Amino acid sequence: MQDEEKTAATGSESAQAPAEGATAEAPRNPNMKWYIIHSYSGFERKVKESLESRVAAFGLQEKIGKVLIPTESVTEVRGGKKYTSERMFYPGYVLVEMDMDDHVWHVVKSTPRVTGFVGTGQQPTPLSDEEVQHIVYKVADSREKPKLKVKFEKNEKVKITEGAFASFEGIVDDVNEDRETLKVMVTIFGRSTPVELEFNQVEKVA
C-alpha cells in the first residue's frame, strides 16, 4: 500500500515538473513592426501603463509587444554634486511594437490620452529598420553615458571642482559639446595657462 502511495506521489511530481519551464517567453511574432503613437505631452508614462494593462486585459501579447518611451539620461551638476534624471527625446510620442490589424488599431487608438498614430490619413506607417535602430541605439547609448544638462559658453567664468587645479577659477576659451570637454584659461604663477577639463570637473561662477 505504501509502495502504491509512493508511486502515486512520484507520478504526481512528474506531472507537475514541466511547470518549471513554463515561464519561458513565448516566440516573438515575426510580423511585429514599430509604430509611433501621439499622446498628450506629459502623459507618456500613463499611456505606456494603460496600454500595457489593455494588452493583458485583451490577451493581445501575441499582437502587441514592447512599449517604449525614448528617453536619455541627463546629468546636472549642482553644488559640486551630480544628479542624473531621465529626459524624453520626443515629448508627446510613444513607440509601440505591433502586428497591426483593425482590432489592434482600435485597442491602441482608444487608449486614454492617445490622440492617434503617426502616418498618412487613417493608415499608420511603421518605422523603417534604420529608424528603429537609430532610436533604440540612442536610448541604450544615453543610459551608458549620460549627457550633461549644463551648457558652457566661451568667455564664461568657471570654477574647477576636481583634479590638480581644484578651487582655481578660469575663463572658458573653447567648448567641445560632443566630447563634453572645455579648454579653460587658468592663471598659474602669473601666467595664463590652458587646461582641458571635462564638463563635470567645473561649475559656473554666479
* Per-residue pLDDT reduced to its tens digit, 166-184: 889 999 999 987 778 899 9
CB 91 within 8 A of CB 44: yes
C-alpha angle 69/73/78, rounded to 5°?
140
CB 45 within 8 A of CB 94: no
Count the neighbouring beta carbons within 10 Å of the beta carbon of residue 47: 25
C-alpha angle 74/75/79, rounded to 5°?
150
CA distance 127 to 91: 18
Biggest CA–CA distance in the chain, Å, is 100
Between the two ends of the chain, the Cα-to-Cα distance in Å is 88
CB 85 within 8 A of CB 74: yes
* pTM passes above 0.85: no
What is the distance, to the nearest Å, from the Cα of residue 81 to the centroid of all Cα atoms in its chain?
A: 23
- Residue 67: name the closest of 46, 89, 91, 87 by CA: 46
Domains of the chain: 27-148 (3.30.70.940), 157-204 (2.30.30.30)
Pairing of strands 147-148, 71-78: parallel
pLDDT in tens, the chain (206 residues): 545 444 444 444 444 444 443 333 444 788 899 999 999 988 999 999 999 999 999 999 999 999 988 887 777 666 666 777 777 778 888 999 999 999 999 999 999 999 988 876 667 889 888 888 777 666 656 555 656 556 788 899 999 988 888 889 999 999 987 778 899 999 887 888 899 998 888 888 87
